[in-house]
């Protein structure tokens, strides 16, 4: 187990270094025309390093950039309002994290019962309703869903706020603070972001449960007289949800990028809103900070899910040496088992 975790952490470190390298090349090495036009200069395109007067060779500046980012989280200051980028991200990141985490909980709460019921009663009316739900969830654009929810649920029926955001714990955010207002203002964004993933996950859970229902250990548990709920909880779901855990790590990264558009639609002050504002103002320091924060979050989420998958499935965390010893043991026992049969 320790070897499996160390390998996952080592690969996470390599991926984070690759992220910083690509980000540094994109923003500090490749020539950029928009900056040249913004300054009103002519001639050859220059790089961001030249625009920001970054001196020294790249092989010396890149390690310094990585060291300052990793140890001090120093991403510079905004070129527009002179605020530290870390302060901007400190206020924007919790909004995006709240949106993505809440949406993940919502789509799992929707997909799990829909997928299990569809698998337990295939070709029934509920199963066909699940197919319609999947088609609608995949076909409809999240922004259109957000607009419809805002109009009907927020404007017509007045069941949830249309826009804005309330802090969960920050008491300096005015009167709009607390778990209740926080959940009310995020209800529609959560549902908007979750519907597409809920449709995909319900089909995945249905297929996985159907495949698990035909396994021998499920039939054995039923033959021993285990109740249907115990078979479902202890045998079917425990193995059928392993692909869901695998996909969850990747889909959280997809949801993080999709959350940027949902933030703009509902006026949430998250990283998506800050990145769009920085792009309009050509505030590259903020863009670099948002890019590094988002990609680092995706790498960390993928690594955490890989570790959890290793905990759920013991076969994943077994070392190569253990598998080789098992194969050698089986090969050694095979002739001994065949010899008595030949003697008879």
Tokens 């809920």 locate to 198
Give the dihedral sign, CA 247/249/253/255: positive
- The contacts of residue 43 (CB under 8 Å, 6+ apart) are 36
CA 310 to chain centre: 18
Tokens 């890019």 locate to 291
End-to-end Cα separation, the chain, in angstroms: 44
- The contacts of residue 109 (CB under 8 Å, 6+ apart) are none
What gap in Å lies between CA 192 and CA 97, rounded to an integer?
A: 15
What gap in Å lies between CA 165 and CA 94, rounded to an integer?
A: 11
pLDDT the model gives residue 311: 66
Q: Which helix (H) or strand (E) holds 258?
A: helix 242-266
What are the distances in angstroms from CA 236 to CA 217, 239, 240, 253, 334? 9, 6, 6, 27, 33
The predicted-structure confidence for 187-196, as pLDDT tens digits, reads as follows 999 999 998 8
Can you list the alpha helix ranges (DSSP code H) found in 31-173?
Answer: 33-39, 48-51, 58-67, 85-120, 125-139, 142-149
Q: Are 182 and 166 in contact (CB under 8 A)?
A: yes
Q: Are 330 and 17 in contact (CB under 8 A)?
A: no
Question: Domains in the chain and their CATH numbers?
Answer: 2-72 (no CATH), 86-319 (1.10.3720.10)
pTM over 0.85: no
Q: What is the mean pLDDT of each run of 10 residues along the chain (344 residues)?
A: 74 85 78 49 50 62 80 79 87 91 93 88 85 85 84 87 80 69 90 90 88 81 80 78 79 84 87 87 84 85 75 57 53 51 48
| Backbone region of residue 76 per phi and psi (left: phi > 0; alpha: psi in -120 to 50; beta: other values) | left
């Amino acid at each position: 187990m320790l070897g499996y975790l160390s390998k996952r952490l080592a690969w996470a470190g390599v991926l984070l270094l690759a992220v910083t390298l690509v980000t540094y090349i994109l923003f500090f090495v490749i020539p950029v025309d928009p900056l040249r036009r913004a300054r009103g200069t002519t001639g050859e395109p220059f790089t961001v390093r030249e625009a920001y007067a970054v001196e020294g060779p790249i092989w010396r500046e890149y390690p310094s950039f990585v060291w300052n980012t990793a140890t001090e989280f120093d991403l510079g200051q905004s070129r527009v309002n002179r605020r530290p980028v870390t302060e901007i991200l400190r206020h924007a990141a919790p909004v995006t994290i709240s949106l993505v985490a809440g949406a993940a909980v919502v789509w799992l709460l929707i997909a799990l019962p829909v997928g299990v019921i569809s698998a337990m009663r295939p070709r029934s009316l509920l199963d066909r309703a699940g197919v319609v739900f999947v088609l609608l969830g995949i076909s409809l654009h999240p922004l259109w869903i957000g607009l419809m929810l805002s109009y009907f649920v927020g404007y017509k029926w007045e069941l949830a706020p249309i826009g804005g955001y309330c802090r969960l714990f920050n008491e300096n955010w005015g009167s709009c603070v607390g778990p209740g207002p926080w959940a009310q203002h995020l209800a529609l964004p959560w549902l908007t972001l979750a519907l597409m993933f809920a449709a995909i996950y319900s089909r995945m859970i249905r297929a996985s449960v159907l495949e698990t229902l035909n396994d021998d250990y499920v039939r054995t548990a039923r033959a021993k007289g285990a109740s249907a709920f115990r078979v479902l909880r202890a045998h079917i779901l425990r193995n059928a949800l392993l692909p869901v855990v695998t996909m969850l790590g990747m889909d959280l990264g997809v949801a993080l990028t999709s959350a940027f558009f949902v933030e703009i639609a509902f006026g949430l002050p998250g990283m998506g809103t800050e990145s769009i504002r920085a792009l309009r103002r050509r505030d590259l320091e903020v863009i670099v900070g948002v890019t590094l924060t988002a990609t680092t979050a995706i790498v960390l989420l993928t690594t955490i899910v890989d570790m959890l998958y290793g905990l759920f499935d013991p076969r994943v965390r077994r070392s190569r040496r253990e598998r080789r010893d098992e194969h050698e043991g089986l090969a050694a026992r095979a002739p001994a088992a065949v010899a008595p049969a030949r003697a008879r």
